[in-house]
Amino acid sequence: MKEEGKESQAAAMSGERLVDLDEALAGAGVGEVLAELDGELIGLAPVKRRVREIADFLLVERLRSSVGLQTQVPTLHMSFTGSPGTGKTTVALRMGKILHRLGYVRKGHLVVAARDDLVGQYVGHTAPKTKEVIKRAMGGVLFIDEAYSLYRPESERDYGLEAVSILLQSMEDYRNDLVVIFAGYRDRMATFFASNPGLRSRIAHHIDFPDYTFEELVSIGDLMVRAQGYFFDPPGQEAFREYLERRRKQPLFANARSVRNAIDRIKLRQAARLISAGGKISAEELMRIDASDVRQSRVFTEQEGGESQARGKS
């Protein structure tokens, strides 16, 4: 305590202003957003760590400015790479809230766009479409999914590069009030950035989203089921684990997105089972998912390599 008193006196004597980091963090409300992210997404430790690092950096930059230290507007545009269903949109939504609470954007809302939202089909059509999306995203985050689809070198009459050019200019002109996040598969995004060095130079943060492990997928399924007021009985839980083991080996598996779709279908089959049986049932039965609700999936009923598996259906 004596040492702390000496430091405070020294600071006061030198005229320096002490900054309370804990108070600043609590006042910004960033911790709440990070807690929400932890609650929403299972796993993804490297992603969550990187988001926290960015939040810490931005908070420190704001504090430096508050005490008169030299600062500059940080480049905040980002790249999220990874397979579908790994939480990229969810993290982008939370990133918008963090940026808003720290004062780097006015609203913090998220606008999700894909190629069809930005690229026109004829001359003069792309610019107004792209500018309209940018206008809606001003003050927040523009999340461009499958961004590599904007670059189609095989087509001489493709207007995707016009959209990229407009985005590049807007990223520079409105860097104080617009954050653009490009998202997509890792290898395709690498090709996309290689095609336009100017684009790569404007991306400050590259975050890779790993695929979920098997146990993480099981936990995600359990979390989704409980959140919707259902539960697996023991045989149902075992059937669901076997379902995931099979489904994740099939084409077009999309991590948490495929788990969510599977649970939606399981609920449909559970409802059909209950109505077919008729009679009086308890609230517990309305919540219970048994093995038959899971094992009616095509993943179990069709041969490997069947037509529905090729389409990636559950």
Q: Please identify, among 186, 209, 232, the residue that sits at the C-terminal boundary of a domain.
A: 209
> Domain check: are 254 and 233 in the same one?
yes
Q: Please identify, among 153, 186, 209, the residue that sits at the C-terminal boundary of a domain.
A: 209
CA atoms within a 13 Å half-sphere pointing along the CA-CB vector of 99: 31
> Domain check: are 123 and 175 in the same one?
yes
Q: Max CA-CA distance within the chain?
A: 82
> Domain check: are 164 and 240 in the same one?
no
In this prediction, residue 10 carries a pLDDT of 46
Q: Please identify, among 209, 230, 250, the residue that sits at the C-terminal boundary of a domain.
A: 209
CA distance 157 to 225: 47
71 contact partners, CB below 8 Å, separation of at least 6: 61, 64, 65
CATH number of the domain to which 48 belongs: 3.40.50.300
* Nearest partner of 139 among 166, 177, 100, judged by Cα: 177
Residue the block writes with tokens 């590049």? 168
> Domain check: are 36 and 173 in the same one?
yes
In this prediction, residue 24 carries a pLDDT of 85
Contact (Cβ atoms closer than 8 angstroms) between residue 81 and residue 191? no
At how many degrees (to 10) do helices 30-40 and 45-66 cross?
170
> Domain check: are 26 and 154 in the same one?
yes
> Domain check: are 258 and 164 in the same one?
no
- pLDDT per position as a tens digit, 280-294: 999 999 999 999 999
CATH number of the domain to which 237 belongs: 1.10.8.60
Contact (Cβ atoms closer than 8 angstroms) between residue 228 and residue 266? no
* Nearest partner of 296 among 260, 275, 272, 312, judged by Cα: 272
Instruction: Report CA 187 to chain centroid distance, whole Å.
Output: 18
> Domain check: are 7 and 55 in the same one?
yes
248 contact partners, CB below 8 Å, separation of at least 6: 214, 217, 258
Domain hosting residue 239, numbered range: 214-310
> Domain check: are 113 and 240 in the same one?
no
Into how many domains does the chain fold? Answer: 2
Residue the block writes with tokens 């985050």? 141
User: Which parts of the chain have pLDDT scores under 50?
Assistant: 1-2, 5-6, 8-14, 304-313
